[in-house]
A = this chain, B = another copy of it.
Amino acid sequence: MQLIDYKKPLEIGEVPIPTIQGEEVLIKIVGSGLCHSDLHLMDGSIRIIPRFPFILGHENSGTVEEVGEAVSGFKKGDPVVVFGGWSRKPDRFTWTGQEQLTNIRDWVGIGQPGGYAEYLKVPTFRYLMHTEGVDLTEAAVLTDAGLTPYRAIKKLLPTLYPGSTVVIIGCGGLGQFGVQFARLLTPSVNVVAVDVDDMKLSVAKQLGADVIVNSKTEDAVEKVKEITDNEGSQGIVDFVGADVTLAQAYSMGGRQSKLVVVGLAGGTLKFTAGLINELDVTTSNWGSISELSEVLFLAQKGKIQTSVKKIRFGEMNRTFEDLRAGKLEGRAVLLPDKC
């Protein structure tokens, strides 16, 4: 499935199956997730596509089809997920296992051909991970929609302690993982979920939120102040990133709290200094391969729920329209083999 130009629908095309050597591995795709950032790539609001036609798809799982001579630890038939933050530039981030921060032009499905296809060439077996015990369709989703909130929640951990309060703003696809990870990773912490949609909030509640707040009908900042005895929250993740949620998030933070912005809605946070505060604002971008291994472990143990809608090649353009319109529940995953 190829993007032939910005603002054009994807089109089916025929491409040769990649040849493999050295450390490379050919993957037969089982699932490839449809992500909101694909919309930005398709409409050109992020102009990074290296050439047309181009195969998108950066959330990939599959089975090993062929391995190069220098591959170690993987053989034909192994079920795997593909870590997508590829890098070909050895720099400080690559050397410390944060390749996803190195060069967006090396990422699969963004700068390099991706997984909306029957086969995917992975440049080195070092970007693969064994995936026994996890449904491969769900596993695809974990490589981004699962991994990104995981990294964000981990960034909160140093400021949390038993009795502290975490706020998750935005309980859609990523936020629902956020609530689950906040519940799993933090020691006896109060988890507050904020959204404007009662149905999403009720899912958040079911996934472990202690308190849910509909910010359309309640003042979320006041509510958090009340819950925390006026201190504010110690950790906040904003999965929306709009002006209004960023302002809420910032106002909720207590002394030495951490606010992590994940959502790319393009909002601007207005940050000012004060006499006693030391609130800390940062962003969290995708996740590392080591973090992906932890997400995968949690899935193998049945600790996280993933909601997936399986689609075929022919349904992709329509599904992207639904995604843009906010009409999609859970994550859509392309199953190339089922077309």
**A residues at B contact (CB < 8 Å):** 21-24, 37, 46, 68-70, 72-73, 88-90, 92-97, 100-102, 104, 123-126, 128-129, 161-163, 184-188, 241, 246, 255-256, 261-264, 266-285, 288-290, 293-294, 297-298, 301, 303
Give the nearest-CB partner of A282 in chain B.
B280
17 A–B pairs (Cβ distance < 8 Å), ordered by A: A21-B69, A37-B275, A92-B161, A93-B255, A94-B126, A95-B97, A95-B288, A100-B276, A101-B255, A101-B276, A267-B272, A271-B281, A278-B282, A278-B285, A279-B283, A280-B281, A281-B281
- Chain B contacts for A69, CB-based, 8 A: 21-22
Report how far A128 CA is from B275 CA in the complex, Å.
Answer: 22
Instruction: Output the least CB separation between A237 and chain B (Å).
Output: 12
Report how far A264 CA is from B288 CA in the complex, Å.
Answer: 34
Instruction: Output the least CB separation between A170 and chain B (Å).
Output: 13
- Chain B contacts for A68, CB-based, 8 A: 22
Across the interface, A298 reaches (CB within 8 A) one of B184, B188, B266, namely: B188
Known: A97-B96, A123-B70, A161-B294. A269 touches B270 (CB 8 A): yes
Max count, chain B CB within 10 A of own CB: residue among A24, A90, A163: A90
Across the interface, A104 reaches (CB within 8 A) one of B94, B100, B104, B275, namely: B275
- Chain B contacts for A73, CB-based, 8 A: 88-90
Instruction: Flag if B124 contacts A23 (CB, 8 Å).
Output: yes
Give the nearest-CB partner of A186 in chain B.
B187
Instruction: Output the least CB separation between A238 and chain B (Å).
Output: 9
- Chain B contacts for A270, CB-based, 8 A: 268-271
Give the interface SS of chain A, mostly helix, strand, loop or mixed.
loop
- Chain B contacts for A161, CB-based, 8 A: 92, 294
Give the nearest-CB partner of A256 in chain B.
B101
Instruction: Flag if A95 contacts B290 (CB, 8 Å).
Output: yes
Max count, chain B CB within 10 A of own CB: residue among A68, A94, A272: A272
Instruction: Flag if A72 contacts B89 (CB, 8 Å).
Output: yes
Instruction: Flag if B274 contacts A283 (CB, 8 Å).
Output: yes
Report how far A318 CA is from B6 CA in the complex, Å.
Answer: 66
Known: A88-B73, A188-B303, A285-B276. A268 touches B266 (CB 8 A): no
- Chain B contacts for A23, CB-based, 8 A: 22-23, 70, 123-124
- Chain B contacts for A184, CB-based, 8 A: 162, 187-188
Report how far A215 CA is from B17 CA in the complex, Å.
Answer: 55
Known: A22-B68, A187-B185, A275-B104. A96 touches B290 (CB 8 A): yes
Known: A89-B72, A124-B23. A281 touches B282 (CB 8 A): yes
Instruction: Output the least CB separation between A152 and chain B (Å).
Output: 11
Give the nearest-CB partner of A297 in chain B.
B163
Instruction: Output the least CB separation between A263 and chain B (Å).
Output: 7
Across the interface, A22 reaches (CB within 8 A) one of B24, B261, B269, B290, namely: B24
Report how far A266 CA is from B46 CA in the complex, Å.
Answer: 34
